[in-house]
Amino acid sequence: MDLEVGLVQRSQKGDVDAFNQLVELYQGHVYNLALRMLGSESGAADAAQETFISAFRAIGGFRGGNFRSWLLRIAANACKDMLRAARARPTLSLEALEPDPEATPRSHAESPEEHALRAELIAQIQQGLDALPQDQRLALALVDIQGFSYEDAAGVMGTSVGTVKSRLSRGRARMRDYLRNYPELLPGQLRLDT
């Protein structure tokens, strides 16, 4: 944590190298959150880039506290802005028309059939996430996917722990209902009673 504090302080004084080190520390967190919020690798990359540009411009106003939460709040807001803009002018991406065989690399321990089922399950889970309201999707992405505590998620979302728990509960219930439509994709131990 002392490294992070030093990097933030140097960044606030205009040290670009220090800020680049912060980018390296947190780019995975930012990208993963954006990927779950937006459901698109190119959109997640754009949101991550926008997040770090915004953070660089605003780092002088960072007054301490949890830097990761501050940064992920910027990322969540960038994603919300992108989703709002996409609703205003919907488009069909040519990338979406073709499945990406590299998106879910096959493990040597799994058969081609198992790989295909896993890839389809991942796609269905992402579609389920995409169908959730933004606040529930963000709560699920932070707590269930990124592994944040309720307190850290509340910091990122700018809300109370109780609100995070409520959004998480509603989001999980909607995902459970969504996945009930695809029981054949779930491994036996994860199948839901229908």
Tens-digit pLDDT profile for residues 27-72: 999 999 999 999 889 999 999 999 999 999 999 999 888 899 999 9
Would you state the pLDDT for residue 20? 95
- Coil/strand/helix, residue 194: coil
User: What contacts 139, CB < 8 A, 6 or more positions away?
Assistant: 153, 157, 164, 167, 168, 171
Would you state the pLDDT for residue 95? 43
Would you state the pLDDT for residue 21? 96
Which region, left, alpha or beta, applies to residue 14 given φ > 0 means left and ψ of -120 to 50 means alpha?
left
Give CA–CA dist 31/45, Å, rounded: 6
* Percent of the chain's residues with pLDDT above 90: 51
The residue ranges of the chain whose pLDDT is under 70 are 1, 89-108, 186-194
Half-sphere exposure in the Cβ direction for 142 (13 Å, CA): 29
User: What contacts 174, CB < 8 A, 6 or more positions away?
Assistant: 128, 131, 132, 136
Give CA–CA dist 126/34, Å, rounded: 12
Helix axes 16-38, 2-12, angle to 10 degrees: 110
- Domains in the chain, start-ordered, CATH in brackets? 1-91 (1.10.1740.10), 99-194 (1.10.10.10)
Would you state the pLDDT for residue 94? 37
